[in-house]
């Protein structure tokens, strides 16, 4: 009987976490052999104002990592090969990989463009035990796509995720049932889901640095300091995570972001940009036939301090107006008196339009007008339909679409990505170089709700990332 079985009274599961290595860069190196062995940095040019999406392992040796400003990467790695993000190409590779995974189990939960959880508990009779399936998956991915993946095998999503991240690239880490607490014990608490800046600080005050130290703190102490979240954290520290692999789960968010060419304190420019971002988000929601129950904004200032705020709407929507209004209300207090570097608008808590019983129908004339605008946009391109307010001054372009969060693929509509959002990487972890400053104002995950898994190609958790593949 495994530890899990002893604790839960249920038999153990076999969960795999499959994570492609340096995905965007690896696709470029696969397709352009002359780039192999060279430092490849995907995200834009070394003088652009955006951030690095992916750095190849060769580039990481220069200290380049995801979410780092491209200009910093340019300084660290002047001979690097800087490439723009080719979302369509990565999406095609991603689809190919996900199709491979589905050969081994229908329970594939894609969490971003390049990673997925698999529950292979029911597949072991067919394909062998967890480690055997992991090896078959790794070689199928290698043979059929020319890419490498790292895989973690464990009894839960949490432990499988931590495991896949430990021996990148091309890693395979197996955590035997019952071995979870011992496996996790020496690792930093920052690897656990739900340890953000605030929680990390409180745990630091308790002298807790490692997961093992966390597990040894009496539950009542953690509950006193952290509430119910403390009890959950302690369970996680023991490797207990009951979250099921939800196969075929739809995308979790749609988001658009924009980095200003010059940091701005101009409220008018900020509001217009929020409108353009809201327009982009709502248009993608409509294309995908879904509505957002929650709207979020992200505001990053000139010092890289990043704030996110979100609000649940009275009723789900796919229209620009309510998304923009909410984004404005959320962003206004955060943008006052600061120079803004980056703005983002995200729609989360997504629901299918077909579940329409839930929606009181709005004015049908308004909906027809919106649909006509969408049709124009389809026929003549994104720029054909733009609100008068947006036309008053040139629009910031291009928007940085988060390639992980595209929902269009769900319905076979062409899109950059169909991956579920992995969360905005609001790991409140101070950047080692001081540039990736801690994320502020990020709410700890509410008690009882699992936080988004944190993507990670690195051996250490990173400051928040932007469009990480
Ligand atoms: Mg990856």
DSSP 136-162: HHHHHHHHHHS--EEEEEESSHHHHHH
Reduce the DSSP state of residue 424 to 3 states and report it.
coil
Is the per-residue pLDDT at 417 higher than 60? no
How many A from CA of 169 to the centre of ligand 1? 9
- For residue 281, give the 3-state DSSP assignment: helix
Helix axes 267-288, 364-380, angle to 10 degrees: 90
Distance, CA 256 to ligand 1 centroid (Å)?
21
For 383-403, what is each residue's pLDDT tens digit?
Answer: 545 554 554 544 443 333 343
Q: Are 77 and 64 in contact (CB under 8 A)?
A: yes
Active-site option among 28, 115, 452, 464: 115
Q: Give buried/exposed letters for 323-345 (b at 16+ CB in 10 A, else e).
A: bbebbbebbeebbeebebbbbbb
Measured in angstroms, how far is the CA atom of residue 457 from the centroid of ligand 1?
A: 5
Copy the structure tokens of residue 311: 């609000």
Q: What's the whole-number mean pLDDT along residues 29-43?
A: 97
Q: Output DSSP code: residue 267.
A: H
For the residues 37-46, what does the mean pLDDT come to? 96
End-to-end CA separation in angstroms for the chain? 38
How far apart CA 280 and CA 257 sit, in angstroms, is: 10
Q: Are strands 290-301 and 340-352 parallel, antiparallel or unpaired?
A: antiparallel
Average per-residue pLDDT for the chain: 78
Residue 102: burial class (beta carbons within 10 Å; 0-12, 13-18, 19+): middle
- Report CA(351)–ligand 1 centroid distance (Å): 27
Position 366 scores a pLDDT of: 67
Of residues 253 and 383, more confidence is placed in: 253
> What would the mean pLDDT of 9-18 be, rounded to a whole number?
81
Secondary structure of residue 463 in the 3-state scheme: coil
Q: Which of 35-44, 188-197, 269-278, 356-365 has the highest mean pLDDT?
A: 35-44
Q: What's the distance, CA 138 to chain centroid?
A: 22
Q: Tell me: pLDDT of 430 over 50.
A: no
Calculate how far, in angstroms, residue 67's C-alpha sits from the geometric centre of ligand 1. 14
Q: Is the pLDDT of residue 199 over 80?
A: yes
Inter-residue contact 422 to 115 (CB < 8 Å): yes
Average pLDDT over residues 432-436: 30
Q: Which of 35-49, 153-167, 190-204, 377-391 has the lowest mean pLDDT?
A: 377-391
- Residue 242 CA to ligand 1 centre (angstroms): 23
pLDDT at 190 over 80: yes
Of residues 28 and 6, more confidently modeled: 28
Q: Using CA atoms, how far apart are residues 396 and 462, in angstroms rounded to an integer?
A: 28
CA distance 465 to 403: 13
For residue 37, pLDDT beyond 80: yes
Asked whether 236 and 199 are in contact (CB, 8 A), the reply is: no
Report yes or no: 42 and 65 within 8 Å, Cβ to Cβ: no
The Å distance, Cα 19 to ligand 1 centre, comes to 5
Let me know if 250 is exposed, middle or buried by CB neighbors in 10 A (0-12, 13-18, 19+). middle
Q: Where are the alpha helices (DSSP H) in 57-179?
A: 57-60, 70-76, 87-102, 124-127, 130-145, 157-164
* The CATH number of domain 253-419, selected from 3.40.50.1000, 3.30.1490.100, 3.40.50.300, 3.90.1300.10: 3.30.1490.100
Position with higher pLDDT, 39 vs 110: 39
> What gap in Å lies between CA 85 and CA 385, rounded to an integer?
25
329 is an active site residue: no
Q: Rounded to whole angstroms, how far apart are CA atoms 212 and 182?
A: 8
By C-alpha distance, which of 190, 177, 258 is closest to 8? 177
pLDDT for the residue 380: 54
CA distance 101 to 140: 9
In the structure, what pLDDT confidence band is assigned to residue 140 with cuts at 50, 70 and 90? very high
Strand, helix or coil for residue 231: helix
Give the pLDDT mean for 247-269: 81
CA-CA distance, 312 to 365, in Å (whole number)? 25
- 285 pLDDT tier (thresholds 50, 70, 90): confident
pLDDT at 406 over 60: no
């Amino acid at each position: 009987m495994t530890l899990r079985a002893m604790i839960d009274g249920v038999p153990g599961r076999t969960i795999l976490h499959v994570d492609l290595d340096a995905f965007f860069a690896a696709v470029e190196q696969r397709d352009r052999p002359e780039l192999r062995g060279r430092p490849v940095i995907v995200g834009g040019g070394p003088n652009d104002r955006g951030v690095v999406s992916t750095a190849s392992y060769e580039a990481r040796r220069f200290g380049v990592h995801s979410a780092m400003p491209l200009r910093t990467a340019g300084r660290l790695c002047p001979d690097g090969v800087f490439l723009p993000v080719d979302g369509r190409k990565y999406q095609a590779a991603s689809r190919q990989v996900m199709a491979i995974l589905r050969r081994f189990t229908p329970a594939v939960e894609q969490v971003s463009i390049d990673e997925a959880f698999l529950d292979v508990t029911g597949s072991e009779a067919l394909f062998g035990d967890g480690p055997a399936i992991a090896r078959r998956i790794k070689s199928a991915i290698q043979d059929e796509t020319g890419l490498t993946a790292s895989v973690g095998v464990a009894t839960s999503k949490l432990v499988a995720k931590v495991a896949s991240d430990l021996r990148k690239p091309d890693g395979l880490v197996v955590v035997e049932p019952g071995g979870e607490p011992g496996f996790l014990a020496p690792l930093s608490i920052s690897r656990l889901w739900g340890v953000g800046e605030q929680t990390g600080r409180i745990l630091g005050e308790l002298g807790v640095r490692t997961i093992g130290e966390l597990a040894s703190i009496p539950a009542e102490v953690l509950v006193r300091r952290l509430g119910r979240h403390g009890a959950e954290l302690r369970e996680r520290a023991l490797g207990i995570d009951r979250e099921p692999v939800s196969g075929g789960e739809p995308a979790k968010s749609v988001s658009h972001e924009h980095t200003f060419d010059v940091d701005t304190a101009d409220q008018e420019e900020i509001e217009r940009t929020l409108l353009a971002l809201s327009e982009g988000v709502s248009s993608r929601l409509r294309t995908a036939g879904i509505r957002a129950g929650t709207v979020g904004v992200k505001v990053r200032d000139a010092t890289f301090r990043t704030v996110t705020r979100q609000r649940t709407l009275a009723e789900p929507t796919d229209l620009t107006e309510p998304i923009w209004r909410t984004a404005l209300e959320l962003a206004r207090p955060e943008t006052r008196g600061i120079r803004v570097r980056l703005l983002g608008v995200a729609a989360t808590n997504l629901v299918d339009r077909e579940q329409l019983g839930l929606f009181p129908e709005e004015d049908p004339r308004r909906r027809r007008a919106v649909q006509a605008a969408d049709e124009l946009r389809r026929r003549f391109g994104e720029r054909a339909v733009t609100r008068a307010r947006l036309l008053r001054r040139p629009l910031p372009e291009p928007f940085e679409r988060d390639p992980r969060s595209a929902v269009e693929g769900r319905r076979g509509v062409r899109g950059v990505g169909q991956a579920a959002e992995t969360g905005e990487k609001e790991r409140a972890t101070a950047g080692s170089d001081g540039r990736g400053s801690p994320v502020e104002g990020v709410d700890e995950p509410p008690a009882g709700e699992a936080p988004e898994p944190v993507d990670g190609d690195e051996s250490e958790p990173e400051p928040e990332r932007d469009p990480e593949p």
